Amino acid sequence: MSHESHLREEICILAKSLFDRGLTAGSSGNVSVRLEDGRLLVTPTGTSFGRLDPARLSLIDASGQLISGDAPTKEMALHRAFYDTRASNAVVHLHSCHSVALSLLPDVDPDNFLPPLTAYSVMRLGKVALLPFFMPGDPEMGRAIRGLAGKRSAVVLAHHGPVVAGKDLEAAVAAIEELEETAKLALMTLGMGARVLSQAQIQGLVQRFDLEWAD
């Protein structure tokens, strides 16, 4: 099996896992993976994560043109922005329930969307930015990502859902699952005076594991 064929299978397997566990529903969400030559494999527009066909994934060349497969997700500007600003090889976007719900609350810090409740949320995500509402497919989403200058691997689009970039697809999926679980914990403990990690504890993690932690 070629490397590209392997990635096609991996996209479908991991996407179905996300769908089967209710982390995205209907035909929502999209995934892309960057090949070694700069081409992208992308989930097609209007398709369910539960029924992806490896042969019908969109193959996009380095200039953004469709080479083969079905038409790609309308969120290509979002994916391109991460690839252009970070050393990433995969991007995952979901409409997961708890992170969307948390994005609707009035007192969320847009510069640090998730409270530092667990070590692994710090380790896998760093600081998560909350971006404002955009119409689906709006190129302004890409410009908002570029405005972060590559300093964030994870964002949440208000009223829409999380987007995470990773060194590979497995890492990006693990990180976006961590984001959703941390959002769930934040909602479960809302208004209960939950203890968060201290700045000293966060800095200890940053230094011990050589983590990104944006200013």
Which segments within 48-182 are labelled E, that is strand? 58-60, 66-68, 90-93, 129-131, 154-157, 161-166
Residue of 9, 10, 36, 120 with catalytic role: 120
Note whether 68 and 44 are within 8 A (CB): no
Point out which residues pair with 130 in neighbouring strands: 156
Point out which residues pair with 110 in neighbouring strands: none
Is 83 noted as a catalytic residue in this protein?
Answer: no
Note whether 173 and 92 are within 8 A (CB): yes
Angle in degrees, 0-180, between the axes of helices 169-188 and 3-20, rounded to the nearest 10: 20
Residue of 10, 75, 178, 181 with catalytic role: 75
Q: Which stretches within 86-165 are classed as H helix?
A: 97-103, 119-125, 140-146
Quote the tokens at residue 74.
């309308």
Quote the tokens at residue 75.
């969120």
DSSP 3-40: HHHHHHHHHHHHHHHHHHTTSS-TT--EEEEE-TTS-E
Phi first, then psi, for residue 148 (nearest 5°) are -80, -5
Tell me the one-letter amino acid at 3.
H
Is 120 noted as a catalytic residue in this protein?
Answer: yes
Positions marked active-site: 75, 120
